Amino acid sequence: MLRIERGIRDAIVAHARRDHPDEACGVVAGPEGSDRPVRFVPMLNAARSPTFYEFDSADLLALYKEMAANDEEPVVVYHSHTATEAYPSRTDISYASEPNAHYVLVSTRSDDETEFRSFRIVDGVVTEEPVEVVDAEAFTTGPAGWDD
């Protein structure tokens, strides 16, 4: 299950809406081994495409260096779909390289409703997981082991 603070979920959705009609992409980092998405990092879609996203390689390298220095890892890797449902495409599955990450997809195909779904993608196998959106107070005092 992905447990995510409401403000971070809202920031992901806002980024997806802001970049529409192009796909948006980014990462939510968290302490290594914690499964806690706490630091929202919107990225530039270097492809600037409504049907494909690509992290800028220099930005991605800088992010990974920063995460390593902070003992963080990518807990959530997110992007949007602008004309289709929030479900990983074949390309998304082939590019999924973080076996511990939650892969979040946001669909901006409708002005009235935003789909926000999370998946685990390991060795080409896609498994949808529930998403629990919590208030900031509940997030910081969540399950045992979350108080770093």
CA distances (Å), origin 112, targets 70, 71, 79: 38, 39, 19
**Count of residues for the chain?**
148
Query: Hey, what domains does the chain have and what are their CATH numbers?
Result: 2-138 (3.40.140.10)
Classified as helix, coil or strand, 15 is: helix
pLDDT digits (tens, 9 = 90+) for 62-90: 999 999 999 999 999 999 999 999 999 99
Give the HSE-up count for residue 7: Cα atoms under 13 Å, Cβ half-sphere. Answer: 10
pLDDT digits (tens, 9 = 90+) for 92-136: 999 999 999 999 999 999 988 889 999 999 999 999 999 999 998
What's the confidence (pLDDT) of residue 104? 98
- Euclidean distance between CA atoms 84 and 94, whole angstroms: 18
What's the confidence (pLDDT) of residue 148? 43
pTM of this prediction? 0.92
Q: Is the pLDDT of residue 19 over 60?
A: yes
Q: Which residues pair with 133 in a beta bridge?
A: 4
